[in-house]
Amino acid sequence: MSDEDDEEEDARRMRNLNLDEAFEPVTSPVMRLKRAWVRERLAPEMMTREDALVEAVKTAVEAQERALTRRAETRAERGGGAEDASEKLMDNVMWVEVNRIKYLLREYARTRLRKIEAHAFYFLRTEEGQERLSERLSEAEQKYVRKYAIAVSEHYENVLKELPDGYRDAVKEFATKFATDEEEGSAMISKPKTDSFVFFRFREDVVNFVTGEDDDGNTDSVDLKRGAILLAKYSMFKDLLHTDPPKAELV
Amino acid sequence: MASTSFGKKACELVREIAESEAGTLPPYNQDLMRTIADQCADHGEAMQTLAVQINEVNDAEDDGAEDADAREDKTGSLRTGMFAHHQAILRNKRAMLVYLNERMNRIKDLRWQIGTGLPDNVSSNLSHGERAFFTKYSENLNEYMREVDLNLTLDLEPPKHHKIQVRCLEDRGELFTRDGSVDLKRNTVHLMWREEAQPLIREGVLEQLDDDGC
């Protein structure tokens, strides 16, 4: 009996080693942005844009930049002294940090743009995509994807116009005026691969998480343990990413 | 009817772009694209002819000379022919799109790496449509960056230092920076802010010296 308890205790300790302390729920906006960025990079589909967070971090960075510039100016007026040297060093360290955060801001926006471009026609031409578009993309991003799609399809159609009638559409393999919804299969639109495999790390114990249902209505469920890392289909546990605070994260 | 090689040319096209080195942009193969489009037109014509023949067989129904099975046989083989031509066009179209798409991705990368102005030697390898696409893509990106008030083309690599040491490769005259003005003369070395130096490095005016040196 006590052996079993020990074993369970060991397993728990091992799982805890998996947890990255820095990734525990934190209040710092920068850490939250970093997490949003990691999640955005690893998830096959578009995540909600962390607008408020981006703004908060941007304002903080700008304030810090101004403060550092001011300090450098007053130092210059004062002329160099012994205590200035250590202040200068501190400032350098802070500049490095400011730059890292700016890189994070840029990389976050770039990651999103890359994903938007890859699935531009999915966002504009499919029903599911349009829903995602209005719920997860910022206004500027929506504008971007519209213009991008126009530029791409104009470019394609400019070449495809040489083909016989019916084959000139940039998004459909073959389209006639008789085409119905059943022929949607001919659409060449790449969708986010939500069935691709990703690594989940669970931050909380989740008991009896329902993973699926078979034809008879029986449900499959698993008990998820805090700290466990699991390779699974993205679609299986994606809902846990969106709880607040998230019960799972991608690694 | 001109010879239709059923996708041989299209295969050539895809091979050309697949075998070119990643990140380079070979000249736009207008001739081959033209040939493939012509072939598609031929396939289209062949389909039309077959469609007419099918109609003829069906219209001959009243003659009573042929029974239903024989007619079915005949139209069946004609339909198979049509289907083959249809698939050939789809295959060609797919190949053309693969070619265009791969080039487009490389053109997009150019916007991120080089900036809004394409050097002549690159620009001459682009088709007219591709140049138009580059301009539109570039404008759209600029507009987005204005809206979010962040230059996204900076810091493509994680930063190590906030200032970097650069060597000047050509005479540029005076440049006003945050720290005052620098005189960019050939072969002079400066310590500059990353953000201010990066666009000039991309233009080829400055060269970054060893990162660990600063």
Nearest CA in chain A to B149: A58
Q: For residue A105, is pLDDT > 60? A: yes
User: Is the separation of the CB atoms in A240 and A246 below 8 Å?
Assistant: yes
Q: For residue B213, is pLDDT > 50? A: no
Please report which confidence band the pLDDT of residue B36 belongs to, taking 50, 70 and 90 as the band edges: confident
- What are the pLDDT digits (tens) for B7-31? 788 888 888 888 888 778 888 888 8
Same domain for A126 and A107?
no
- What are the pLDDT digits (tens) for A131-154? 888 888 888 889 999 999 989 888
- Please name which of A69, A53, A70 lies closest in space to residue A104, comparing C-alpha atoms: A53
Same domain for A39 and A102?
yes
At A148 the pLDDT is 92
Distance between B65 CA and the closest CA of chain A, angstroms: 34
Name which of A147, A173, A174 is nearest B140 (Cβ-Cβ). A147
Show residues of chain B in contact with A68, CB under 8 Å: none
- What are the pLDDT digits (tens) for A21-76? 655 666 788 888 888 898 899 988 888 888 888 888 999 999 998 998 888 888 87
Distance between B155 CA and the closest CA of chain A, angstroms: 6
Structural domain includes residue A247: yes
Q: In chain A, pLDDT over 70 holds for what percent of residues?
A: 87
Show residues of chain A in contact with B10, CB under 8 Å: none
At A188 the pLDDT is 75
Per-residue pLDDT, averaged over B100-111, amounts to 89
- Please name which of A76, A105, A35 lies closest in space to residue B195, comparing C-alpha atoms: A105
Same domain for A35 and A103?
yes
Structural domain includes residue A158: yes
Interface test with B, best of A69, A71, A94, A102 (most B CBs within 10 A): A102
At B44 the pLDDT is 85
Structural domain includes residue A131: yes
Q: Kindly report the pTM of this predicted structure.
A: 0.79
Distance between A162 CA and the closest CA of chain B, angstroms: 6
Show residues of chain B in contact with A102, CB under 8 Å: 155, 159
Same domain for A111 and A152?
no
The Cα A86–Cα B133 span in angstroms is 52
At A181 the pLDDT is 47
Q: What is the DSSP string of chain A?
A: -HHHHHHHHHHHHHHHHHS-GGGSS---HHHHHHHHHHHHHH-SSPPPP-HHHHHHHHHHHHHHHHHHHHHHHHHHHH---HHHHHHHHHHHHHHHHHHHHHHHHHHHHHHHHHHHHHTHHHHHHSHHHHHHHHHHS-HHHHHHHHHHHHHHHHHHHHHHTTSPTTS--SSBSS--TT--GGGGGGB--PPP-TTSEEEEEESS-EEEEEEEE-TTS-EEEEEE-TT-EEEEEHHHHHHHHSSSS-SEEE-
Residue A233, domain CATH? 3.40.5.60
CB atoms within 10 A of CB A59: 11
Q: State the ipTM, two decimals.
A: 0.78
Structural domain includes residue A214: yes
- What are the pLDDT digits (tens) for A154-165? 888 888 888 887
- What are the pLDDT digits (tens) for A217-235? 677 778 888 888 889 888 8
Structural domain includes residue A154: yes
Same domain for A113 and A131?
no
Please report which confidence band the pLDDT of residue B41 belongs to, taking 50, 70 and 90 as the band edges: confident
The Cα A198–Cα A43 span in angstroms is 8
Q: For residue B1, is pLDDT > 50? A: no
Number of domains, chain A: 3
Same domain for A30 and A70?
yes
Q: Looking at A83, A100, A117, which one is the last position of a domain? A: A117
Q: Looking at A117, A152, A182, which one is the last position of a domain? A: A117
State the sign of the Cα–Cα–Cα–Cα dihedral B155, B157, B163, B169: negative
Q: For residue A180, is pLDDT > 70? A: no
Nearest CA in chain B to A54: B148
Q: For residue A186, is pLDDT > 60? A: no
Residue A83, domain CATH? 1.20.58.1030
Q: In chain B, pLDDT over 70 holds for what percent of residues?
A: 91
Reported CATH class of domain B8-148: mainly alpha
Q: For residue A4, is pLDDT > 50? A: yes
Q: Looking at A81, A102, A117, which one is the last position of a domain? A: A117
Structural domain includes residue A146: yes
Please report which confidence band the pLDDT of residue B2 belongs to, taking 50, 70 and 90 as the band edges: very low
Q: What is the mean pLDDT of chain B?
A: 81
At A23 the pLDDT is 57
Is A151 in the B-facing interface, judged by CB distances under 8 Å? yes
| Burial call A130-160: b when 16+ CB within 10 Å, e when fewer | eebbeebbbebbbebbebbbebbbebbebbb
Q: Mean pLDDT lowest for which of A153-162, B40-49, B150-159?
A: B150-159
The Cα A70–Cα A64 span in angstroms is 10
Is A154 in the B-facing interface, judged by CB distances under 8 Å? yes
Collect all residues from B whose CB is shorter than 8 A from any CB in A.
33-34, 37, 40-41, 43-44, 47, 86, 89-90, 93-94, 96-97, 100, 104, 108, 129-130, 132-133, 136-137, 140-141, 143-144, 147-152, 154-155, 158-159, 161-162, 178, 194
Q: Mean pLDDT lowest for which of A67-76, A112-121, B64-73?
A: B64-73
Q: For residue B96, is pLDDT > 50? A: yes
Same domain for A89 and A58?
yes
Q: For residue B214, is pLDDT > 50? A: no
Range of the structural domain that residue A74 is part of: 23-117
